[in-house]
Each structure stands twice: as C-alpha cells, then as structure tokens.
C-alpha cells in the first residue's frame, strides 16, 4: 500500500433466489495505534496489456479489516485481508528466509503437515508501494466460510523485506480482483470456487460496520448479498475496465458550491483502501470547501467543533447521488482524552494509462454496501450499491 504516515494498512442481488447459497465470512477490525510507518499498498498487479504497474492506494486510521481462512489438510488457519484491488492469495511460508522478519511474527504455512499439498515451485513476486514480496507458488485445499476442499494455487511468501508487514494484524492477502490482475496468471480464489462448483456464482458483497468501537468489523458474503445489511434498492453500475473494480463516476459535488469530476471520470472501489482519494487539484479544492487544512505529509486536519456545519460530499454513480455527511467522511480519533478530527479524503495522482481515477475506499464503503458481480457471458460485470442499514449509534 502507499502511505498514510499517521496510520497503517489495513487493511448482488437485491433479493436472493430461494436456495441460493451464501457463504459468510465475519470480518474483524483492529486499530493498531499510531505508528509513523509508511504503509504499503499497490498490490502491484499487471494491468491489461501486461506491463507491471503500481497502484498506490491509501489507508487510514490504522484500521485493518481481515477474516479467517484455512489452507491444507487439516486446515492451517490464517488471517487475511480480502482485497478487491488484487487477485492473488498468499500467506507466509514455514520455509521463509531467516532474515524475512515479518515471517516470524505471523502464522506460516507448513506443507509437510498437509496431506493434500501439491508442489508447484513457480516463482512469484508482487511489488508494493514501500516494499516487495516474493516466494513460490503451491497448490492445496482452501477452507473459507464453511466451504472445504477447494483446490487453489497460492503463494508461499519466502521473502518479505518490507518491515511494515511486521506490525500487520493479518498474515496474508486474498485478492478478489479480476483474473487479469493475477501475478503469474494464477487462477484467483473466487474463480476457483466457481470453477469447482463450490460457489453458485461469482458474486460477493462487503458490509463494513460503521461503529468504530465494535470489534465486529462487518461481513464478507460470497455468492450474493444480505438485504439485512442495506436499504434497498441496489443501484447497479457497470464495470468499465474489468481489472480493478472500475466504474464511471458522473460527478462529485461538495454542498451546492463546488462540482468536481465535472465531465465524468473513472473510479475504483477498493476494500484495501481506507480513504477516498482523487487527483491532487480536485482534492485540494474539496479540502478547502470542507474547511480542512494541511497537517503533515498529505493528511488534512478539521476542527472537530465545526463538523455539524460541514457540507455533504456527493458522488453521482449510475445516475444516483450517493451522499456522505461530515459524520461519514470526517475521521474522529479519541486517544487519552484527546480528540483529533481528520479528513477522509486524500490527494493521489494515478498516471496514465491506468489513471487518473478516484478511489472509493472504506470511508465510502462503510456508508454503502457494495455488491461485486462478475457477471456472465451475456451480461458484463457490475457493482451494486445501497446505503448501509444502521445497526446502532455511532460511526
């Protein structure tokens, strides 16, 4: 992942048909404290066209959302970030290099104790914004949300030179992007589940809890969505570039006085990003309009006392306005009796040909449930959005 100097990475159908199998994976959320580390992010996946690219996606609030999976027989358990901005599954390996320090602080996969392990041996490498990851590919059984016996190809990380991994509360990453992003053309886990008849359809949804005090971080649902998590109807927006979950955004408005993305622009929805990011010039105008001023290294400070007076920020997607109030987009941190309010927006310039685009991360996804639908031969991929149903006070 790319930066946030204050904080560390992390990291449908409106009505389901009768009999649809929904696989539920609880998400946990951890606040890791204030560290002056530069988080990683740019799950460096090759875009359409083949050349490697690094997409720097920001994180915020030292928030990490992660869930549990198992690999091998019997299953060896790992905490992973479910990341819509990448397409590979990897975990640390028991065979990791001695000087790969993050390996010693996390669960490690041991092929010798798995009766279903199949060696592959192909080398893989993923470049991050502040480091890199490398190892070998292996094959074994995946256990996820009650599904067992899925054969997957995954990465055993042998070398993690980025020290930021030491402090991560997750062991690895499970990518939920499109196959074109997968390093070494590995079949992504979601595709493997569908191919093997273990998942009805390539659809999944994220519900992220809005309660900052709750350990329960939300839920990832494979195979569809749960209307209990959102207020119908879902607004579907077609995916324009099936690599990241990229869609077209028509406009962005700040109150009634500022319009951004005036001619339309690209946006991606990414569960591995905590902030909302956009081109520098537009984000600077947005920060000024909401009364934010620079704090340090790209972060913006907002006076907590003026939150109730701040304008909404609205995103037009699929012809529908998705509004965020100041309670949604201001990050409020309380530690030791001190209250700090920070803007949930950050400038980030993604160069062509991939960019420029906005990134709608967790600041957006906590307010709106997202249903990621890969589609089929007749219908293309799409993303469904609906307001998160409140489950109590707080944000």
Q: In whole angstroms, give the CA distance from residue 101 to residue 163.
A: 7
The model's pLDDT over 294-308, given as tens digits with 9 standing for 90+, comes to 987 788 999 999 999
Q: In whole angstroms, give the CA distance from residue 229 to residue 185.
A: 34
Q: Which residue has the higher pLDDT, 129 or 83?
A: 83
pLDDT of residue 351: 86
pLDDT of residue 395: 39
* Residue ranges of domains in the chain: 31-199, 227-387
Tell me which of 57-71, 98-112, 215-229, 354-368 is least confident. 57-71
31-199 and 227-387 share one fold: yes
- Non-local (6+) Cβ contacts of 351 within 8 A are none
CB 247 within 8 A of CB 269: yes
Q: In whole angstroms, give the CA distance from residue 181 to residue 167.
A: 26
What are the DSSP calls for 171-219, one per residue?
A: SEEEE-S-GGG-GGGPPPHHHHHHHTTSSSSSEEEEEE---TT-SEEEE
Looking at the predicted structure, is the pLDDT value of residue 319 above 70?
yes
Per the document, the length of the chain is 395
Q: In whole angstroms, give the CA distance from residue 391 to residue 201.
A: 28
Looking at the predicted structure, is the pLDDT value of residue 16 above 70?
no
Please state which CATH number belongs to domain 31-199.
2.40.70.10
Mean pLDDT score across all residues of the chain = 83
Q: Which residue has the higher pLDDT, 187 or 58?
A: 187
Span 24-44, mean pLDDT? 51
Span 352-360, mean pLDDT? 90
pLDDT of residue 355: 86
Q: In whole angstroms, give the CA distance from residue 10 to residue 40.
A: 9
pLDDT of residue 194: 94
Q: How many CB atoms lie within 10 A of CB 377?
A: 5
Tell me which of 185-194, 339-348, 383-392 is least confident. 383-392
The residue assigned the tokens 């685009």 is: 357
Q: Where does the pLDDT of residue 33 fall: very low under 50, low under 70, confident under 90, or very high at 90 and above?
A: very low
pLDDT of residue 20: 59
CA–CA–CA angle 361, 326, 298 (5° rounding): 55
How is residue 291 annotated by DSSP?
Answer: T
For residue 190, which of 259, 134, 245 has the smallest C-alpha distance?
245
For 85, 137, 231, 261, 362, the CA distances from 248, given in Å and listed in that order, are 17, 35, 23, 10, 18
Catalytic residue status for 270: yes
The residue assigned the tokens 């939150």 is: 307
- DSSP SS3 for 166: helix
The residue assigned the tokens 């900052």 is: 212
Q: Does domain 227-387 have CATH number 3.90.1150.10?
A: no
pLDDT of residue 285: 97
The model's pLDDT over 211-229, given as tens digits with 9 standing for 90+, comes to 666 667 889 999 999 999 9
The model's pLDDT over 136-172, given as tens digits with 9 standing for 90+, comes to 999 999 999 989 999 999 999 999 877 777 877 889 9
Q: Which of 270, 328, 362, 373 is catalytic?
A: 270
Q: Which residue has the higher pLDDT, 3 or 338?
A: 338
Q: Where are the alpha helices (DSSP H) in 262-386?
A: 280-289, 326-329, 362-365
CB 10 within 8 A of CB 170: yes
Span 45-51, mean pLDDT? 37
Looking at the predicted structure, is the pLDDT value of residue 58 above 50?
no
End-to-end Cα spacing for the chain: 25
How many percent of the chain have pLDDT more than 90? 60
Q: How many CB atoms lie within 10 A of CB 54?
A: 16
Q: How many CB atoms lie within 10 A of CB 232?
A: 11
The alpha carbon of 143 is separated from its chain's Cα centroid by a whole number of angstroms, namely 21
- CB burial of 169-206 (b: ≥16 within 10 Å; e: otherwise) equals bbbbbbbbbbebbbbeebebbbbbbbeeebbbbbbbbb
- DSSP SS3 for 329: helix
Strand partners, 282: none
Q: Where does the pLDDT of residue 338 fall: very low under 50, low under 70, confident under 90, or very high at 90 and above?
A: confident
Q: Which residue has the higher pLDDT, 182 or 214?
A: 182
Span 310-314, mean pLDDT? 97
pTM for this entry: 0.86
pLDDT of residue 107: 94
The residue assigned the tokens 């990291």 is: 11
The alpha carbon of 351 is separated from its chain's Cα centroid by a whole number of angstroms, namely 21
CA 244, 249, 254, 260 torsion-angle sign = positive
Q: In whole angstroms, give the CA distance from residue 338 to residue 385.
A: 35
Span 342-366, mean pLDDT? 91
Q: Where does the pLDDT of residue 63 fall: very low under 50, low under 70, confident under 90, or very high at 90 and above?
A: low
Looking at the predicted structure, is the pLDDT value of residue 383 above 90?
yes
Strand partners, 184: none
65: left (phi over 0), alpha (psi -120 to 50) or beta: beta
pLDDT of residue 341: 92
Cα-only R_g, the chain: 20
394: left (phi over 0), alpha (psi -120 to 50) or beta: left
């Amino acid at each position: 992942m790319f930066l946030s100097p204050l904080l560390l990475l992390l990291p449908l159908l409106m009505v389901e048909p009768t009999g649809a199998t929904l696989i539920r994976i609880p998400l946990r959320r951890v606040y890791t404290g204030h560290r002056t580390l530069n988080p990683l992010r740019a799950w460096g996946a090759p875009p359409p066209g083949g050349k490697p690219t690094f997409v720097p996606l920001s994180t915020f609030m030292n928030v990490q959302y992660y869930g549990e999976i198992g690999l091998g027989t019997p299953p060896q358990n790992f905490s992973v970030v479910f990341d819509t901005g990448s397409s590979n599954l990897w975990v640390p390996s028991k065979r990791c290099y001695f000087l790969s320090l993050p390996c010693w602080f996390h669960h490690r996969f041991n092929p010798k104790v798995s009766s279903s392990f199949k060696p592959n041996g192909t080398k893989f490498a993923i470049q991050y914004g502040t480091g890199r990851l490398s190892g070998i590919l292996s094959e074994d059984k995946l256990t996820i949300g009650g599904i067992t016996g899925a054969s997957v190809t995954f990465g055993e990380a042998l070398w993690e030179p980025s020290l930021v991994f030491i402090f991560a509360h997750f062991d690895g990453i499970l990518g939920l992007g499109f196959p074109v992003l997968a390093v070494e053309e590995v079949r992504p886990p979601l595709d493997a589940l569908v191919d093997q008849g273990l998942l009805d359809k390539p659809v999944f949804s994220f519900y992220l809890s809005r309660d900052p005090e709750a350990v329960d971080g939300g839920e990832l649902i494979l195979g569809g969505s749960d209307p209990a998590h959102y207020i119908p109807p879902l607004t579907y927006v077609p995916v324009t570039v099936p690599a990241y979950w990229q869609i077209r955004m028509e406009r962005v408005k700040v109150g009634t006085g500022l319009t951004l993305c005036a001619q339309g622009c690209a946006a991606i929805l990414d569960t591995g990003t905590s902030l909302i990011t956009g081109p520098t010039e537009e984000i600077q105008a947005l920060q000024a309009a909401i009364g934010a001023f620079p704090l340090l290294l790209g972060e913006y400070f907002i006076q907590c006392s003026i939150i109730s007076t701040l304008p909404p920020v609205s995103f037009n997607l699929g012809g529908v306005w998705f509004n965020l109030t100041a309670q949604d987009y201001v990050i409020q941190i309380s530690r030791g009796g001190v209250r700090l309010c920070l803007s949930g927006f950050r400038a980030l310039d993604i160069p062509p040909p991939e960019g420029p685009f906005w990134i709608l991360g967790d600041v957006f996804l906590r307010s709106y449930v997202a249903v990621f639908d890969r589609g089929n031969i007749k219908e293309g991929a799409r993303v469904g959005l609906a307001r998160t149903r409140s489950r109590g006070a707080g944000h």
